[in-house]
Structure 1
């Protein structure tokens, strides 16, 4: 089904909802209440029932939170959303630049001495609450049942669709083997799992609880003998009993907290993802606690042979759809009639023509002209604009296929691009090429590599306010940790990790540029004369042409020109035989040597 484009909340709805929340705060004797964009599972994406931040404020970005006091309401957003938030929220909400301004410092500045801040202990992690309380001067934190839920009269019901088994041919390892492998190194009697993609990966199951991401909302406990207790609504597990087998016991989700309290110790939790309520429950039960990373996170990030093969197949299939779309766009854009929504619908249609698309992997970003400068722009009927002639169109999109998840961004010239467009685009492309070509020693983290993508922009006084790349799942979440290419990431890149490579540049009110391929870390080919140390490099998964009209060849070095020409030649070799003749002719022209 094609996505819809109506806004779920509007700025004028924010003030009365804010007043209702403040009235309830007075009755609960608290001076503030925290409204994160989070659910009890602490994943990045939330179901409509848990979209409390958007319902209250109108802000629809994928990260942020609101701190509501009686006299002010700060909405904390990072550099990706500073244009978007101003368009989506009423003046009653004050945008706060985060992480430059930390929540504790803001609360210390605006709360009275002895102030009490309410929070829902399901929606904040153990680490988050511990750090916040430590950083507060005089204020204290008070766990409460969620106040937003109490004023949200038409709050949607929780997701209830059944889970499905993920085929072994795509998973590459049985869930019995995964459970045994992780249990052998658990270091505790039991480990609590709350992240939906961890549970999906461990048990080789998928779900439809979160739109665009095939994850199951559930909780799980992995025991040191490899047994798993799975907690989910009964309607969700009816189709997977045979797949789970005798060593996975299913329980009603309503019994989860009782199950936590009854565990043998010690219990392993990940303080970065475990809800604070679980930590409080373990403390109340007198159990010993081991704080350590979710045991599924790193094994899930290291894709096995079957998962990498699936990713390649999915990207080839997706590239055919993208090339058909780009050829269509080149033919139709000169008419001046196309809108951003037309672009979104057409691209989704080409993906559905593959007959293998399960869903798009996130809401397609189709930003024409100044809308392209909004990093995570989502077109609605209210914001929809025609494609600006002699300007740029930024399209960031992806597909969910049973064998892999894709994510690709291309910036396209509509009409005749200006010199500034071409110069900025070429510097962004140079940064993407730098990541694509690099080889690096094992143990190097994303914060080291991030600077390579920014260097061509830094040299001309430019930058961008988002990370260079994120991890990507295997028919799972399009954003997957723990690996990232960003200045804050200290996680070492390991063989098999799939990441995005997507530098950008954004001129507010004018245009946006982003170019994105997915890449997978592999052992590097030895170089004659090297000192024998272990090295990694990136293999490109995405093969779709860049817009040659936007490349200023005079700014490129010889190695960069050769890389582009080789990339385009490989694109033709991979895709030409899978296209109709007119589209193949378009592709060959688009991939001609510089």
Structure 2
């Protein structure tokens, strides 16, 4: 019996002991985070799944794992079909599946600190239709059998200076106070870790790749705030930075504090605050206002200091990736390179900048068939050699004090096939179409998404992921509320109007199962585009500069305008990152960025 099969057996035994007929295991934490600390990696511990989005249901005689199209191949590689059935999202979801598979009259458990109120309502309704019951547990049964579960991080907080933040915490809290006044609320509960970090100009290292600390905050209408965080995280420098307007409390005092707002109007975000928070506020006599966290949009619209910082971070990061691409191009045909050895070498190039603080996510280093899984994560078990005839895809990013980066490039190992070049060129055409889009205020990411897909649609192809996500300012590499994606894409955001100052990725792709994957990703800044006749539209400034592989491009497939964009982009690549390279590297870069033939 494998370790994962044994864990499933142990969990079922615990469920029986607790009087439960099933249990739901999401991939999130008590903050509804996308990336979570090791202590909250329950889904990975139970199933072996290493993706960044998913959930599972365990019943007495069956179990199912739910993932979207990004992980169709990965989940089958990492999770045993002997123990788990694979369910595709959004074709189905946990609530719908429970309504079809839960035992009649059964008791299905859930942890109220790991689900939103909306999810609870949906799951409860689906189960009721089957004569089953959704039961909130006081203690997560999975934690009871996870004997070596890591403790939450004890890393100390750090201060994000105004030189990088561009706006002081007092000014940010004043903006929140104005919002509270407008909504006639007494306070707002902040649970999203990046919202707390942005509001208080603090950073942490409690979650891999995302510089946040495990904490809660409540901001009052007078601009003061209560911060709930482990005391050992607060240094004298942090205490001085916070000043008297921020009252400090232990993190474990937060749940009890929610009962202290009797007669008050308290705002909480129904998408980012778990159901336990809403339940506790209501039980304590508060009137709960289910409103979007006011920080979400404020931090998405970058100020001039943040955008300038991102340009600097992007330049040095693009140079590091360019050096890496040159290295792969030279070494891979000789043999001996693997996905993981490439991860290590890319990390070294980034560390040579002297200012790298972390990577912004686990590097996707995927060769051959692994590239067909958009969010593939190489492990010692799956690690594959780079071999002639393959495409090598690398999607990676860095965390720097002045910005968060994310870019994807593809290299042929040896000679690419005509099909590979055709698909790459179509992806490039879609990338250029989005990069050059001009659109009126109020346009959403969902309206722009088809620009990037059209060249693939023309031959009956598509890709099963969004085209673009928001990016933070030395914060989360996946930041809302904006997104470029089809309206039905899981996670929402496609209906959010794009606004000047937002940063998004531009990453169309193509994936051929069992053979290769292609993705071209740059980051874009939404900017105003004034016209002579008085109209002001919006467009994109490209922020990422790194060569796009010319040997994969079928020049005849590009229009004159697309060729002009590519040549201008590559000229700008030389200008922006050339100063970070030595003479030999600059010569290589000049060749890679020569005008398209």
Q: TM-score interval w.r.t. the shorter chain?
A: over 0.9
The equivalences for 1:162-181 within 5 A come to 162-181=156-175
Is the 1:318–1:406 Cα contact (8 Å) retained in structure 2? Answer: yes
Is the 2:51–2:377 Cα contact (8 Å) retained in structure 1? Answer: no
CA distance in 2: counterparts of 1:578 and 1:300, whole angstroms: 30
Q: Give the corresponding residue for 1:566.
A: 568
The equivalences for 1:118-197 within 5 A come to 118-136=109-127, 137=129, 138-144=131-137, 145-186=139-180, 187=183, 188-197=185-194
DSSP 3-state at the match of 1:81? helix
Is the 1:270–1:292 Cα contact (8 Å) retained in structure 2? Answer: yes
Quote how far apart the aligned CAs of 1:24 are.
1.4
Is the 1:368–1:394 Cα contact (8 Å) retained in structure 2? Answer: yes
Q: Give the corresponding residue for 2:491.
A: none
DSSP 3-state at the match of 1:495? coil
2:15 corresponds to 1:55:
no
Q: Give the corresponding residue for 1:587.
A: 589
CA distance in 2: counterparts of 1:283 and 1:572, whole angstroms: 58
Q: Give the corresponding residue for 1:8.
A: none
Q: Give the corresponding residue for 1:393.
A: 392
CA distance in 1: counterparts of 2:580 and 2:288, whole angstroms: 55
Can you list the C-alpha shifts for 1:553-590, whole angstroms capped at 9, x where unaligned? 11111111110011011111222233111000000000
CA distance in 1: counterparts of 2:103 and 2:339, whole angstroms: 47
Is the 2:453–2:462 Cα contact (8 Å) retained in structure 1? Answer: yes
2:553 corresponds to 1:551:
yes
2:500 corresponds to 1:502:
no
CA distance in 2: counterparts of 1:303 and 1:377, whole angstroms: 30
Is the 1:360–1:400 Cα contact (8 Å) retained in structure 2? Answer: yes
Is the 1:126–1:273 Cα contact (8 Å) retained in structure 2? Answer: no
The equivalences for 1:479-518 within 5 A come to 479-488=478-487, 489-518=494-523
Is the 1:166–1:205 Cα contact (8 Å) retained in structure 2? Answer: yes
Q: Give the corresponding residue for 2:88.
A: 97
CA distance in 1: counterparts of 2:252 and 2:73, whole angstroms: 41
Q: Give the corresponding residue for 1:366.
A: 365
CA distance in 2: counterparts of 1:342 and 1:525, whole angstroms: 47
Q: Give the corresponding residue for 1:255.
A: 253
2:443 corresponds to 1:452:
no
Quote how far apart the aligned CAs of 1:134 are.
3.0
Q: Give the corresponding residue for 1:462.
A: 461
Quote how far apart the aligned CAs of 1:305 are.
0.3
User: Structure 1 stretch 413-422 or stretch 234-243: which is displaced more?
Assistant: 234-243
2:285 corresponds to 1:286:
yes
CA distance in 1: counterparts of 2:314 and 2:376, whole angstroms: 24
DSSP 3-state at the match of 1:496? coil
Is the 2:333–2:387 Cα contact (8 Å) retained in structure 1? Answer: no
Can you list the C-alpha shifts for 1:257-314, whole angstroms capped at 9, x where unaligned? 1111102511101011111111111121121111100111000100000000000000
CA distance in 1: counterparts of 2:126 and 2:266, whole angstroms: 27
The equivalences for 1:194-209 within 5 A come to 194-209=191-206
Quote how far apart the aligned CAs of 1:377 are.
1.0
CA distance in 1: counterparts of 2:76 and 2:178, whole angstroms: 50
Quote how far apart the aligned CAs of 1:113 are.
2.3
Q: Give the corresponding residue for 2:490.
A: none
User: Structure 1 stretch 91-100 or stretch 200-209: which is displaced more?
Assistant: 91-100
CA distance in 1: counterparts of 2:467 and 2:415, whole angstroms: 28
Q: Give the corresponding residue for 1:5.
A: none
CA distance in 2: counterparts of 1:451 and 1:307, whole angstroms: 29
Quote how far apart the aligned CAs of 1:521 are.
0.3
2:104 corresponds to 1:110:
no
DSSP 3-state at the match of 2:439? strand
Can you list the C-alpha shifts for 1:119-152, whole angstroms capped at 9, x where unaligned? 0110111222123223431322111020100000
Q: 1:575 aligns with which of 569, 574, 577?
A: 577
CA distance in 1: counterparts of 2:579 and 2:400, whole angstroms: 21
DSSP 3-state at the match of 1:230? strand
Is the 2:261–2:285 Cα contact (8 Å) retained in structure 1? Answer: no
Q: Give the corresponding residue for 2:536.
A: 534
Is the 2:316–2:580 Cα contact (8 Å) retained in structure 1? Answer: no
Q: Give the corresponding residue for 1:347.
A: 346
DSSP 3-state at the match of 1:267? strand
2:525 corresponds to 1:520:
yes
CA distance in 2: counterparts of 1:232 and 1:103, whole angstroms: 32
Is the 1:441–1:533 Cα contact (8 Å) retained in structure 2? Answer: no
Quote how far apart the aligned CAs of 1:533 are.
4.1
2:29 corresponds to 1:30:
no
Unaligned runs of 5+ in 1: 1-10
Is the 1:190–1:263 Cα contact (8 Å) retained in structure 2? Answer: no
Is the 1:128–1:272 Cα contact (8 Å) retained in structure 2? Answer: no
Q: Give the corresponding residue for 1:6.
A: none
CA distance in 1: counterparts of 2:215 and 2:565, whole angstroms: 45
CA distance in 2: counterparts of 1:208 and 1:199, whole angstroms: 14
Unaligned runs of 5+ in 2: 488-493
CA distance in 1: counterparts of 2:191 and 2:120, whole angstroms: 17
CA distance in 2: counterparts of 1:228 and 1:66, whole angstroms: 37
CA distance in 2: counterparts of 1:263 and 1:247, whole angstroms: 19
Aligned length: 581
CA distance in 2: counterparts of 1:152 and 1:287, whole angstroms: 36
Quote how far apart the aligned CAs of 1:185 are.
1.1
CA distance in 1: counterparts of 2:328 and 2:93, whole angstroms: 44
DSSP 3-state at the match of 1:33? strand
* TM-score, normalised with respect to structure 1: 0.96
